Amino acid sequence: MFNLEGMTALVTGASGGIGSAIATSLARQGARIALSGSNGEKLRVFREQLNSEIGGDHVEITCNLSDTAQVEELVPATVDTLGKLDILVNNAGVTRDNLAMRMKDEEWDAVMKINLEAAFRLMRAAARPMMKARSGRIVTITSVVGTTGNPGQMNYAAAKAGLVGMSKSLAQELASRGVTVNCVAPGFIRTAMTEVLPDAQKDALNARIPMGRMGEGEEIGAAVAYLASKEASYVTGQTLHVNGGMAMI
């Protein structure tokens, strides 16, 4: 697809369904990956699988994105381990769904801390080595919900919309240094979480999608691989929507 040989990447939320698909896609194109997440055991198992099935010398770096000190150490640790950082993928995120009238402060704060603030800190940290190298790719995973809204997800939608505005601003700041900043906005993606839904609920979701099915993690990985590649060197400040036509934006 796109040649990422010799490039390094940090992927957050790498042991989850979409995160692992993104990491796999980048690794298949030749990038060396720093896999980050809060579950060290899951990361280790996935790293061993990646090294065995695809090859390469990928590493894992455990990080709790709700811990500011750990977030601030993640990019420097990645650079120390991999020698450089060419690609940052902000994928990790959490949900704390509730109707607005019932939403607790801690539900709002948790989503903002992990989904928005941690991404800001990682983008700020990654910008320094990328600007110095006059090259880099920052790709942030948002959501169709950040554009359309969704009942019960006021906090999540706000954080995802914030990521888009934040990325556009940073894209303008870094463009002259050869660093691009973009977003990928998934729609409904088939993961282990969606697989346990009742068939009737799956059918109802699929009925909202013109393509009649949920997306696959690999399809998000392919979008990220494109934005991370040299072929996307003139694409910055954009949001690539991957939703099967559910929202045509």
The set of catalytic residues is 156
CA distance 219 to 68: 31
CB atoms within 10 A of CB 161: 17
Residue (of 161, 162, 156) closest to 98 by Cα position:
156
CA distance 235 to 137: 10
3-state helix, strand, coil in the chain (%, to 5): 50, 15, 30
**Which residues of the chain form beta strands (DSSP E)?**
8-11, 32-37, 59-62, 87-90, 136-141, 179-186, 239-242
DSSP three-state, residue 145? helix
Q: How many CA atoms lie within 13 A of 234 on its CB side?
A: 1
